[in-house]
Chain A
Amino acid sequence: MPTYRPPAIPSSEITPRSVYLRRREFMGLVAGAGLALGAGGARAEAPATMPLKTVPGPYKVDEPLTPREDVTTYNNFYEFGTDKADPSRRSGDFKPRPWTITVDGLVGKPQTFDVDKLIAELPIEERIYRMRCVEAWSMVIPWNGFPLKALLDKVEPLGSAKFVAFETVVRPEEMPGQSGYFQPMPWPYVEGLRLDEAMHPLAILAVGLYGETLPNQNGAPIRLVVPWKYGFKGIKSIVRISLVEQQPPNSWNSLQASEYGFYANVNPEVDHPRWSQATERRIGQGGFFGSGRRPTLMFNGYADEVASLYAGMDLKANY
């Protein structure tokens, strides 16, 4: 029995598949497959996404959107492999529906939510955000989702809750990066936020992009988006959210604490030990010859909204 029924929307709002399934994608796949050595065979592409009924959200960026094709073929999602093309090529077996997400810990009403019921119940906003990867590239993505606060309010956090811990699903049989000899990191992937960061109106749980449910490679069916932080904070395919008293571990920090902090706020003045964070390359712009390199903005351009969260804090020590 399908738990999710697509709402009726005019067909004029649906981006035709032909627009984004262009020659470039095919060429990219062929080139990627040819260049990748020992990355395993390409699998069937992820099943089609479904349209979402969305309302305009309070935040947007007046910069050109990164083409959907780029947003959905250039991903870091190590559960499907470490190459940028792996998540789109190797996530065809992943089943994001039905899906439940458990919210527990220091809360008054611990609950398990059905993601499709949440989508039906909560207004799904469009939020056009910059996305800055710690690897010094960036995108502008029209996410569809709801404030994380809306979900946390439902479980009534206790006064003792100071942090929020997130956990990604573990399914080696559906996620090829979680099986085999090359396991880049321990699973599950975990992340965390301070409670006040989690309650900030910019922090959302995304269930879609470009007006459709999330493709598998982008963290289907539900993922975190915190636009003032480096992309690795945006944990994907979340199965559990726990409110806790102590600062929870986050995967990249556990793996290499000198390079990746807990806060991971976008900061052009604090460099990664191996590369500068002062500039970034905007994916999908500039093309091959235009070098879309641009200066990185403090808090990824969201300083007006979030700088107060870190007042008096040494951002060099708390990177």
Chain B
Amino acid sequence: MAAGRSAFVDKVAGWGIYVVGFIPAVSSFWLGATGGLGADPVRAFEQTLGLWALRFLILTLAITPLRQLAGVNLLRFRRALGLLAFWYAAMHFSVYLTLDRGLIWSTIVPDIVRRPFITLGFAALVLLVPLAATSNRLSIRRLGKNWRRLHRLVYVAVSLAAVHYLLATKVLDPTQAVHIGLVILLLGYRLVRMLIPRSERRAV
């Protein structure tokens, strides 16, 4: 029963991704709550969540190139990675609203509307909502071709998230450079695939 065992392994691995995926959030929260995140624990926790949201987006985008270039098929994990990105973005935003801004809406709403830095991050999260909501089998079947079209929104979302991250600091730091570089690489890969016709690609 090789097929059965592989299905079982996949199922365990599928759930395992969620368990492992939430470790950064849980450990950072625990450190924050017990005084282990330094002088500004709220900022550290908030930034950890945002950074991991971007990391999971990057991993989601890496699945296709890995398959096409290296022949490694991790497609079965893509939904989990995408959902983790959504949940981290949602937690990042929740911490911004509560621990950081203390639910003072009179200052939060103008910031979201007026400041590109905040607006871009918020827009990225909003774009991830329909993607997360349609990440089930039923939606894939119902939406058909449109499902793929809809899910191309992830390219917009990750671009917005990268610019949001870039605008978060006063100068570019190495961590930012690495992450934003990966986003550019993964989006650039798709652009090149789109521009070069399939026949020419085979010849290369």
Contact = CB atoms under 8 A, between A and B. Distances in A.
Interface residues of B, number: 39
Interface in B83-130: 98-102, 104, 107, 110-111, 115-118
B42 interface: yes
A74 interface: yes
| Chain B binding surface, main DSSP class | helix
* Residue from B39, B167, B175 having most chain A Cβ neighbours under 10 A: B39
B177 interface: yes
Interface stretch (A34-42, A43-51, A208-216, A307-315): A34-42
Contacts of B172: 182, 184
Contact of A28 (B36, B45, B101, B102): B36
A38 B175 CA distance: 7
A31 B100 contact: no
Contacts of B184: none
A274 B115 contact: yes
A31 B42 contact: no
Contacts of A252: 170
Interface string B22-66: 000000000111111111111111001000000000000000000
B40 A283 contact: yes
A275 B115 contact: yes
Interface stretch (A10-18, A82-90, A154-162, A238-246): A82-90
Contacts of B170: 135, 252, 256, 259
Nearest to A22: B35
A137 interface: yes
A82 B171 contact: yes
Contacts of B199: none
B191 to A, nearest CB: 26
Contact of A288 (B32, B171, B173): B32
Contacts, number: 105
A278 B36 contact: no
A245 B185 CA distance: 50
B169 interface: yes
Interface in A271-315: 274-276, 278-279, 281, 283-284, 287-289, 291, 293
Interface string B148-181: 0000000000000000000101111111011000
Interface of B: 31-45, 48, 98-102, 104, 107, 110-111, 115-118, 167, 169-175, 177-178
Interface of A: 24, 27-28, 30-32, 35-39, 69-70, 73-74, 78, 82-85, 135, 137, 181-182, 184-185, 252, 255-256, 259, 274-276, 278-279, 281, 283-284, 287-289, 291, 293
13 contacts: A28-B36, A31-B36, A32-B38, A36-B175, A39-B175, A78-B171, A84-B38, A85-B38, A137-B43, A182-B177, A287-B35, A288-B45, A289-B99
